[in-house]
Structure 1
Amino acid sequence: MITAVAERIRSARPDDGPVEIVGDAGARVTGATLRAHEVRPGDLFAALPGARAHGADFADRALERGAAAVLTDAAGAERDALRGSDVPVLVHADPRAAIGPASALVYGDPSTRLEVLGVTGTSGKTTTVYLLEAALAAAGATTGLIGTVETRLGGQRLPSAFTTPEAPDLQALLARMADDGATHVAMEVSSHALSLGRVAGTGFAVGAFTNLSAEHLDFHADMEDYFAAKARLFDGRSRHEVVCVDGPWGRRLVTDGTVTVGAPDADWRAEHVVALPDGTQRFTVHGPDALELPVTVRLPGAFNVTNALLALACGAATGHDPAVLARGLAQVRVPGRMQRVETGQPFLAVVDYAHKPAAVEALLQTLRAGTSGRVLAVLGCGGDRDRAKRPVMGRLAAQLADHVWITDDNPRTEDPAAIRAEMLAGAREVDGALVDEVGDRREAIAAAVADARPGDVVVVAGKGHETGQQVGDHKVPFSDVDELERALKRSAGGRP
């Protein structure tokens, strides 16, 4: 088995040099993990180099828990716990890149037993994946979902630690889904996942691209580096490629055979869009082979028309009837994405995950277009993340909302007041803007609700589906949806 794992790594990473096997090349492994404390008997433990420590420093714990083999680099193989170890050690120049193909083999190459549809891009991944899952289910597929909000296996919900799980976890999850009868899996694919090899070893039936705007520039060197990470989903690992081409980044991905979405000259496009007061949208889809199809989605905003188009095109790429797929779109609601909170109040109250400039701009423009009243926005920025976006988000909020409450998001290890100050600096560039600073997020939400009048819109942006607030090293229970609902029930303005 170890020989087979080494050969899989060699074939997947031919430019990374040889894979050395130290010890019994015939040892059998039955699972894989990156975490020593999660090792189960028979696992391959991937001891990866890190910024603060080397995974091989914890190899003794992995071995005590029954690791059957270890994958590491030359530096890791020299650690005391592995020198002279009784278990085989695979030594490779880039074990992080190698663990994906190795895990896929260990778990029986589950993506060959499933139709995996991956969606990447800056905004819209979550919504598109939910729409795609519903469309495929309507077409008779047995579906799984892997994403930011949750992982779903049939009717069972599992929490998501990452938008895209680490490679061994992903392969184990796909194997479980295949074993339990899933036929199609819709999953979000983040730039981190593509950069760090989390989806290495996964074959995609469809790779889809939504859009690109500034985000994660604390991780990526610049926008070109960010785009290059996203583009890896379109390096041949996806059998079909479906790309939204209403912006320049998407157009750069187009090659022969690419299915295009969203632009007037695209293969899939929408016309005659009608936005109803409750946020529902109806439009006509024009697609390949003279397709003309009426579609309804219960999500407001032009970007959600594009997300629905992308979902339809992805489902059609796997051979399903677009008319049947469209039936599944009509009832989709996405947690924390344009999520309405209703307690009988005479104004619209919405929670949304928008936490980057382009998303905040699109959110507020959409809400502005749909109301004759005021737009009241509660917004913060996360700590230990891209600082450049903070004044931009503050300025956009001040430009597009009638009243803004700058508050805390997930400050993490930063001073919350310093984060707010950077946002306020941008907001105060807007002449005549009405902006308040309320550090306590609960109080900021209550203040916005108390200020609301009939016909207004209250939007709480940034955290969406999240159920905790990261303060220092602690996560404090906090839900924008729950807090907004409580504020509405407490406020006299929240009763008709």
Structure 2
Amino acid sequence: MFALLADVTVTSQHGPTDVPVQALTLDSRQAAPGFVFFALRGAATDGHLFVPKAVEQGASVIICEDLPAELQSGTAYVQVPDSGEAMAHMAAAFYGHPSRNLQLIGVTGTNGKTTCATLLHKLLRELGYHTGLLSTVQNQIDEQVIPATHTTPDAIRLNELLARMVEAGCTHACMEVSSHAVVQHRVTALRFVGGIFTNLTHDHLDYHGTFDNYLKAKKGFFDRLPKSAFALTNADDKRGIVMLQNTAARRETYSLRSAATFRGKLLENAVHGLHLEVDGQEVQFRLIGVFNAYNLLAVYGAAVLLGEEPQEVLTILSGLLSAPGRFEPVLSAHTHVTGIIDYAHTPDALENVLNTIADIRQPSQQVITVVGCGGNRDGGKRPIMANLACQGSDQVVLTSDNPRFEDPLEILRQMQAGVKAQDLPRVETIPDRREAIRRAVELAGPNDIVLVAGKGHETYQEVQGVRAEFDDKQVLREMFELLEK
């Protein structure tokens, strides 16, 4: 066990010190002889409450911030200032520091993380590299798909996945880095060769408390990058340069509007894709929307900083599609209604999607938007989301997203507060999401556009702790077929 504690600050240690370690866990129910149990303080519960259960299950080592009143003989107790930080270092050591054997690139920001990480993963694979992916949509080890449960897994799972990538022969890995992951030390012990910042907008204030804390969490990722890494930031985001203030990494920028390391110019944004000038080279891309122009620039810049040839990078990027549930089209064969599934669940993301639709729609096309807000998340954005939907749509259907443990009707009441009096005739409220999508399709005429926002790639709806099967894309297809009969 001593080797696992090499990078850990230890306050005190009690019990046997020559304990063989077979596994790590933060779930007391999984504890067994040879296991190290980490007592983490979470937002909802305190892992210290489950130390007795872990000991009862036979855990050999307890990592905790506060020692229990009674110490059981035969069990090792290691007291540390921060259990999460200790877990990060011990997990990395237990799995042989896999990030040191990979070209690991992290992507952080409010919006665009999944698209950037996925595009970079696809690009590197097209360039011939064995590459891993850790994203909100899914984790991948080359072609092997592993379901994802969090934007960034806990430190144990994260290092296990990275170790599996190394074992499978991967040389590169692309991962999303959430603000939660930075604050909770999930990525503390990882070695990154590069970091990408996309943008920063209103999100996760339910967890971070203030926007300043949220900003500091994102910035913390860049603050920890080594001198050997690159830090690539969006110079057009007003907080982009802030991310680089204290980093030791090589500072690089990308921009559509000003001088930058990687400079892009928007020539056309149409339904068939983006036409950009990138570092003086005109390129047609299959992705749509100004937000995707930034994503493409970020991925291009990262690849060049990794040493790839710019022309080859642009050629491959021009043929790639985005991640599932990110401005994903679903077409009606008979009425020619265009459905768009998008994960937009923040005000900025919703505004970006609606602005993109506004750029490519024909004057005769109506936009009908289905949107909700998740429960047990930042409530301040709910009226803002409803107001933005009204501003960018001809018709709006407010509905449930993932209400989780909140009353969906109360969430909708908070959203309705953002609807202005003059917009009320254009807004319907239907709590049942399936019925809301059906109504949106019913409202759409030939060639109109139906945007279903908020859940994107998710194939479930979470209500009172239960995840029921629900796929926006599948439901939209069903409603197209049903109403076309």
Q: Under a length normalisation based on structure 2, what TM-score does the superposition of the two structures give?
A: 0.93
Unaligned runs of 5+ residues in structure 2 are none
Name the counterpart of 2:141.
Answer: 153
Question: Alpha carbons of 1:283 and 1:347: their partners in 2 closer, same or farther (altered >3 Å)?
Answer: same
- Who is 2:439 aligned against? 447
Match of 2:253 among 233, 248, 260: 260
Which residue of 62, 66, 79 corresponds with 1:70?
A: 62
The one-character-per-residue Cα deviations of 1:320-353 (angstroms, maximum 9, x if unpaired) are 2222223332222311110111341412111000
The correspondence for 2:324, drawn from 322, 327, 335, is 335
User: What is the 5 A alignment of 1:347-358?
Assistant: 347-358=337-348
Look up the match of 1:418. 410
Distance 1:99 1:233 in 2: 18
Indicate conservation of the 8 Å contact 2:218/2:243, yes or no.
no
CA–CA distance in structure 2, aligned partners of residues 140 and 295 of structure 1: 22
Question: What secondary structure, in the 3-state scheme, does the structure 2 residue paired with 1:427 have?
Answer: coil
Aligned to 1:86: 74
**3-state SS, counterpart of residue 292 of structure 2:** helix
Matched, 1:480 2:472: yes
| CA offset digits 1:424-463 (Å, max 9, x no partner) | 1212345576111111111111111112122311100011
Aligned partner of 2:12 among 4, 10, 20: 20
Q: How many residues align?
A: 475
What secondary structure is seen at the aligned counterpart in 2 of 1:332?
Answer: coil
Q: Which position in structure 2 is the counterpart of 1:460? A: 452
**1:450 alignment partner, SS class:** helix
Change (3 A) 1:332 1:277: closer
- Paired AA for residue 378 in structure 2: D
* In the alignment, structure 1 residue 104 sits paired with structure 2 residue 104: no
Change (3 A) 1:258 1:379: same
204-213 or 246-255, which moves further after superposition? Answer: 246-255
Cα distance in structure 1, aligned partners of 2:28 and 2:316: 42
Preserved contact between residue 244 and residue 251 of structure 2 (Cα < 8 Å): yes
Distance, in Å, in 2 between the alignment partners of 1:62 and 1:298 is 52
Larger deviation, residues 329-338 vs 357-366: 329-338
Distance 2:244 2:11 in 1: 36
User: Can you list the C-alpha shifts for 1:104-145, whole angstroms capped at 9, x where unaligned?
Assistant: 111111110011100000000011111111111122211111
Segment drifting more, 390-399 vs 318-327: 318-327
* Partner Cα separation in structure 2 for residue 68 and residue 328 of structure 1: 51
Q: Distance in 2 between matches of 1:180 and 1:66?
A: 33
Once the two structures are superposed, what CA deviation does each residue of 1:174-195 show, in whole Å capped at 9, x if it has no partner? 1111111111111000000001
The whole-number CA distance in structure 2 between the counterparts of 1:328 and 1:456 is 32
The offset of 1:53, in angstroms, is 4.7
- Percentage identity across paired residues of the two chains: 36
SS at match of 1:453: coil
Give the aligned CA root-mean-square deviation in angstroms.
Answer: 1.9
Moved more, 449-458 or 347-356: 449-458
- The structure-2 alpha-carbon separation of the partners of 1:67 and 1:178, relative to structure 1 and needing over 3 Å to count, comes to farther
2:193 is paired with a residue of what secondary structure? strand
Letter in 2 for 1:37: R
- 1:164-313 equivalences in 2 (<5 Å): 164-238=152-226, 239-255=229-245, 257-262=250-255, 263-278=257-272, 280-286=273-279, 292-313=280-301
In the TM superposition, residue 160 of structure 1 has moved relative to its aligned partner by 1.2
**Gap change, CA 1:21 and 1:123, over 3 Å in 2:** same
SS in structure 1 of the partner of residue 390 of structure 2: helix
Give how far 1:26 is off: 2.7
The answer to whether the aligner puts 1:49 opposite 2:41 as a matched pair is yes
The Cα shift of 1:103 comes to: 1.1
Q: Bigger shift: 103-112 or 245-254?
A: 245-254
Aligned counterparts, 1:425-444, within 5 A: 425-431=417-423, 434-444=426-436
The residue matched to 2:396 in structure 1 has which SS? strand
Instruction: Write the letter of the residue equivalent to 1:427.
Output: V
Alpha-carbon separation, structure 2, partners of 1:49 and 1:447: 44
Deviation of 1:275 (Å)? 2.7
**Residue 326 of structure 1: which of 314, 317, 324 is its match?**
314
What CA distance in whole angstroms lies between the structure 2 residues aligned with 1:368 and 1:126?
A: 23
Shift of 1:60: 4.8
Per-residue displacement from partner, 1:369-424 (whole Å, max 9, x unpaired)?
A: 11111111001111111111111111111111000001111112222111111111
